[in-house]
Amino acid sequence: MGEIPAIETERLTKSFGPTRALSGLDLTVPRGGILGLLGPNGAGKTTAVRVLATLLRPDAGHARVLGADVVRQAGEVRRRIGLTGQYAALDDYLTGRANLIMIGQLARLSRAQARRRAEELLARFDLSEAAGRAVKTYSGGMRRRLDLAASLIGNPEVLFLDEPTTGLDPRSRAVMWEIIRELAAEGTTLLLTTQYLDEADQLASQVAVIDTGRVIAEGTPDQLKAKVGEDRIVVQLAPGPELAAAAAVVRAQTTGPVDADSERRLITAQMPAREGITTDIVRALDVAGVRVSNVTLRRPSLDDVFLILTGHRPAAPPSAPGDGDAGQEADNAQQGGTAA
């Protein structure tokens, strides 16, 4: 049994009208651990999760979860998976407890089992106190926790988390991360989609970067970061004509690519890990007589991953059906960029 991967897709293809959401997605996820599916809005992450969770039929290709085909053996797949979508899929008018019991019963637990399991999960996710209140009174973080509890009620072996922290405040986000780590430690296989490099970095044992419905890079977070490179230094020039000169000065100090944006008067350079490089650059610019209004250091962002892996910045999100709410995602996609 050990050789059957938790998740396996072969040349998975899915289109919505003219929009190609998946164009030959190949993934293999061994049992145990967390796969981070990283990509910008519209990359096909949600579509991939929906196909794997038996909610969508692929146009072509195959997908298996724990060896069961998601189309031909959908019932078998559903018995063994849990799904938490981008938006808490709960009945707002029922209490938190009633939601869990209902979903437990629909997940093939007896009423008594569902009750017992609901109490366990409510306690575990710090929701016991709110369990008797209607879900519509819950905060965003509480809803997400309850939603995650709901997807765990049937003890799934494989859990799909579609952007589990999108729209959460930092504290709720940290709580979700903690829970996700615990689940992985208990042996659940998790596939989580995210737009955030740091989230994939923090949680995932393996990362697959997807763009336009295909995997464009795979590996551990460290391997991926090695590809993306080091931190970026961003130099904002004061008003004046010396952009080209400044870019030349910066280029002389670094080995990575240097990007000069004449419109915003920004120079962005990838930096090798070397002591004192920031000081060196500032000093060199000063010596060259370049007036600088701001210098910032930032960690590689998802935009940088894309710039390096694909040579282009992530395209503007197409409004692909089934790929979530473009509005909210677009807002979040801005995070991690520079002074954009």
291/286 Cα distance (integer angstroms): 7
Instruction: Check the CA dihedral 309-310-312-313 and report its sign.
Output: negative
CB nearer other proteins, residue 116 or residue 181: 116
Pick from 42, 65, 111: nearest CA to 333: 42
Give the nearest distance from C-beta 21 to other proteins in angstroms.
Answer: 13
Give the nearest distance from C-beta 76 to other proteins in angstroms.
Answer: 9
CB nearer other proteins, residue 150 or residue 260: 150
CA distances from 246 to 91, 127, 179, 295, 297 (A): 58, 56, 47, 13, 17
Instruction: Check the CA dihedral 250-256-261-262 and report its sign.
Output: positive
Pick from 283, 285, 277: nearest CA to 242: 285
Give the nearest distance from C-beta 87 to other proteins in angstroms.
Answer: 5
CB nearer other proteins, residue 73 or residue 128: 73
Give the nearest distance from C-beta 111 to other proteins in angstroms.
Answer: 9
Give the nearest distance from C-beta 257 to other proteins in angstroms.
Answer: 42
CB nearer other proteins, residue 71 or residue 309: 71
104 contacts 118 by C-beta, under 8 angstroms: yes
168 contacts 177 by C-beta, under 8 angstroms: no
Output the CA angle 42-17-64, nearest 5 degrees. 65
Pick from 328, 326, 323: nearest CA to 15: 323
Binding site for other proteins (CB under 8 A): 50, 53-57, 75, 78-79, 81-83, 85, 87-94, 98, 102-103, 105-108, 134, 150-151, 154
CB nearer other proteins, residue 151 or residue 206: 151
CB nearer other proteins, residue 160 or residue 196: 160
CB nearer other proteins, residue 144 or residue 232: 144
Give the nearest distance from C-beta 325 to other proteins in angstroms.
Answer: 11
CB nearer other proteins, residue 135 or residue 209: 135
Give the nearest distance from C-beta 302 to other proteins in angstroms.
Answer: 25
Per DSSP, the three-state class of 268 is strand
Give the nearest distance from C-beta 2 to other proteins in angstroms.
Answer: 15
CB nearer other proteins, residue 166 or residue 253: 166
Radius of gyration of the chain (CA): 23
The pair of structure tokens assigned to 323 is: 């790929």
45/31 Cα distance (integer angstroms): 20
Contacts 24+ apart (CB under 8 A), 223-229: 224/200, 224/305, 225/201, 225/300, 227/305, 227/308, 227/309, 228/197, 228/300, 228/304, 228/305, 228/308, 229/256, 229/270, 229/300, 229/304, 229/308
Give the nearest distance from C-beta 337 to other proteins in angstroms.
Answer: 29
DSSP 8-state secondary structure symbol assigned to residue 238: P
